[in-house]
Amino acid sequence: MAKLPGKYELAENKNFYEYLVELGVPEDRAKNAKEVKGTLEVKVDGNKVTLANDNPPHTTDYIIGQEVDEKMGEAVLKSTASLNGNVLTISTIRDGKPSGTRTYTFSDSGLEIVFNSSKDGKSLSASRIYKRI
């Protein structure tokens, strides 16, 4: 778990705008989300992993293996985190149905978050790449 904690700065988005639009996010909000540059701080305390974004400000505490409520915009999701080495996976349920995963792969130089969802039977994915600061 040594590679997880730290501060990370967003360096690149891959297919993020398109992913958000496909999920139904209004284009103006998707464009704003794509343009946001900020940092993500990751803290680990036992089985608790805290992810804190500074722009927009948003913090969520995940307990490995336990479902937690996670606020995303106006929705409250049920999310469960699992940890396998330097890979943190967060599986999310919305309205009682699986809605996707976020896979955080940590390295000495940074972090890549891969978003996977499906809508109307179509698989959707995007990624955000962060450098460790």
* Cis-peptide into 98, omega within 30 deg: no
* pTM greater than the 0.85 cutoff: yes
66, 62, 53: which is closest to 88 by C-alpha? 62
User: Does 2.40.128.20 match the CATH number of domain 6-132?
Assistant: yes
Q: How far apart are the first and last CA of the chain?
A: 18
The pLDDT tens digits of the residues spanning 58-85 come to 899 999 999 999 887 777 889 999 999 9
Alpha-carbon Rg for the chain, nearest whole angstrom, is: 14
The pLDDT tens digits of the residues spanning 86-124 come to 999 999 998 888 889 999 999 999 999 999 998 877 899
Q: What is the mean pLDDT of the segment spanning 32-54? A: 90
